[in-house]
Amino acid sequence: MKNNTTIAAISTAQGEGGIGVIRVSGNGAIEIADRVFRNINNKKLADMKGYTAAFGSVVFEGEKIDEAVALVFRAPHSYTGEDVVELSCHGGMFITKQVLRAVLVAGAVPAEAGEFTKRAFLNGKVDLTEAEAVIDIISAKSRSAARSAICVKEGALRKKITAVKDELLTLTAHLSAWADYPEEDIAEVSEDDILVTCEKAEVTLSRLLETYDMGQAVKQGIDTVIAGRPNVGKSTLMNLLSGTEKSIVTDIPGTTRDVVEDTVLVGDVILRLSDTAGLRDTDDAVEKIGVDRARKKLSQCGLLLAVFDNSRELDDDDLELIELSREVPTVAIINKTDLDSKLDIDKIKSAISNIIYVSAANGEGREDIVKAVEKIAGTGQLNPSEGILSNERQRSNVFNALNSVREAKAAVEIGMTFDAVTVSLEDAISELLEMTGEKTSDEVIDRVFHNFCVGK
């Protein structure tokens, strides 16, 4: 039972809308919101009165993910009767979910079905006559949640989760048998046994988290930046991908001053394309703004299409781009293959493994780009029957389990006794059990009796 915790959820309708609202409610709502929200005037939400708003941005893992308005409600004057912060951000499910993610990582837990209303009721904010309606919502949603848990139970995801859970259970049962039956000749558990199992679990769980991001990428689109020195053919390439003339294409360097956005379908992957200004140093004030934005955008993107000119030698801009490409998933696109090659291709190869050759002006090479992008986005190898996390709750379970596994590992590494390590392992198991809709109770003990011959 998660009571008196701070809960969060997206409270606007799902789908591509103008504005997305993330509602955070509970004792820690304001404190948690303060961890992700940077007020433009630096004032903390904690110092604000109820019924006030602030403008600023939401920051996640050190990066600004969106501009947002924060509305502060103080208990009991809110929908739920608790402290509430509502973060209104720019629409798009991707951004909205990112903001929710930030709030969850900052300490909130995903709200249960009907939980805001339930809290509203328990705090006397909703009329008695509505109580039964709330019960109906909860039981209806719990039935659908149960159905989705059954899907998890039978699906590929379940196999993955069960595999991790089984290994953790086996280890924990061994630790328990070893602790509870010291006089039986049960094999010692070594630090290596624990570390190996933890590392294996860590790999599977973090891979699952990645596929969640991938799954999201498939649904929401990957933020993709096309970058390269001026006049390398970025705008032409963008037009090649999107099929319409979006950017102003000229031969004069610096024509594209702003980040132009477009959403295109490349193979099975949605790319949210930004055509940037070149990275070149400039004295032109207006152009400088464009260049700065491009650099920033580039360092935050999910996929970089780095364009190089086949007909020219690498210059400082190119070298900078090669350096930047080390930080983000990149496809190097060597454009203008219709012209003679003067490029030092080995230099590019040293940093970027995905290299394709196109002649954007002639409309050649789109197929190769599709393949490369699919490969990087993972959908190329993404087996459709492979288990993928499908919602924030599952992600939260896996995230917490992963944290607990890491905690266990860290405890072993600093030399903590195994009773403490076991506590973290059990936390991980209970997160995974919750995910598959099972109840933690005597799983470990049952496993002890199954695996070990213990008794007087």
Partner 1 sequence: MTYSAGNYDVAVIGAGHAGIEAALAAARLGCHTAIFTINMDAVGNCPCNPSIGGTAKGHLVRELDALGGEMGKTADECFLQSRMLNRGKGPAVHSLRAQIDRRKYADTMKHKIELQENLELRQAEITDIKKVDGGYELTTQMLAVYFCKTVVVATGTYLGGRIYVGEVSYESGPDGTFPATRLGRSLKDLGLPLRRFKTGTPARVLRRSIDFSELEVQKGDDPPEPFSYETESLGENKVDCHISYTNDETKKIILENIHRSPLYAGRIEGVGPRYCPSFEDKIMRFKDKPRHQLFIEPCGESTEEMYLQGMSSSLPEEVQLKFYHTIKGLEHCVMMRPAYAIEYDCVDPTAMNPTLEFKEFPNLFGAGQFNGSSGYEEAAAQGFVAGVNAAHKVLGREPFVLTRANSYIGTLVDDLVTKGANEPYRMMTSRSEYRLVLRQDNADVRLTPTGYKLGLISEERWQKFLRKQDEKKREIKRLKETVISPTEEVNRILVSRETSEITTGVRLIELMKRPQLDYECLAPIDTGRPQLDRNVMEQVQIEIKYEGYITKQLRQVEQVRRLEDKLLPNNFDYREIKGLRLEAQEKLNKIQPLNIGQASRISGVSPADISVLLIWMAANKERQ
> Judged by CB, which is closer to partner 1: 187, or 339?
187
> Judged by CB, which is closer to partner 1: 54, or 177?
177
How far is CA 101 from its chain centroid? Answer: 7
Its sign, for the CA torsion 360, 362, 366, 369, is: negative
Q: Is 132 in the site for partner 1 (CB under 8 A)?
A: yes
Residues of span 102-131 touching partner 1 by CB under 8 A? 112-115, 118, 121-122, 124, 128, 131
Which string of b and e fits 412-430 if b means at least 16 CB within 10 Å? Answer: beeeeebeebbebbbbbbb
Residue 228 CB neighbours (<10 A): 23
Q: Taking the complex as a whole, how short is the minimal distance between the CB of residue 294 and partner 1, in angstroms?
A: 45
Please report which helix (H) or strand (E) contains residue 175, including its range. Answer: helix 156-180
Residues of span 408-437 touching partner 1 by CB under 8 A? 414-420, 422-423, 426
The pairing of beta strand 37-39 with beta strand 330-335:
unpaired
**Is 230 within 8 Å of 250 (Cβ atoms)?**
no
Candidates 24-32, 134-142, 229-237, 268-276; binding stretch for partner 1 (CB under 8 A): 134-142
Q: Taking the complex as a whole, how short is the minimal distance between the CB of residue 76 and partner 1, in angstroms?
A: 15
Q: Taking the complex as a whole, how short is the minimal distance between the CB of residue 102 and partner 1, in angstroms?
A: 23
Given candidates 63, 180, 261, 315, which one binds partner 1 under the rule CB under 8 A? 180
Binding mask 63-102 toward partner 1 (x if CB under 8 A, else -) reads ----------------------------------------
DSSP string, 363-400: TB-HHHHHHHHHHHHSTTT--TTS----SHHHHHHHHH
Q: Taking the complex as a whole, how short is the minimal distance between the CB of residue 296 and partner 1, in angstroms?
A: 38
> Judged by CB, which is closer to partner 1: 188, or 251?
188
**Is 364 within 8 Å of 385 (Cβ atoms)?**
no
How far is CA 22 from its chain centroid? Answer: 16
> Judged by CB, which is closer to partner 1: 287, or 426?
426
Cα gap 66→60, rounded to integer Å: 9
> Judged by CB, which is closer to partner 1: 60, or 181?
181
What size, in residues, is the chain?
456
Single-letter amino acid, residue 333: I
Given candidates 59, 69, 105, 138, which one binds partner 1 under the rule CB under 8 A? 138
Q: Taking the complex as a whole, how short is the minimal distance between the CB of residue 187 and partner 1, in angstroms?
A: 12
Sheet arrangement for strand 222-227: 260-266, 269-275, 222-227, 303-309, 330-335, 355-357
> Judged by CB, which is closer to partner 1: 62, or 455?
455
Please report which helix (H) or strand (E) contains residue 88, including its range. Answer: strand 84-90
Candidates 244-252, 266-274, 354-362, 441-449; binding stretch for partner 1 (CB under 8 A): 441-449
Contacting residues toward partner 1, per CB under 8 A = 1-5, 112-115, 118, 121-122, 124, 128, 131-132, 134-136, 138-139, 141-142, 145-146, 176, 178-185, 414-420, 422-423, 426, 439, 441-442, 444-445, 448-449, 453-456
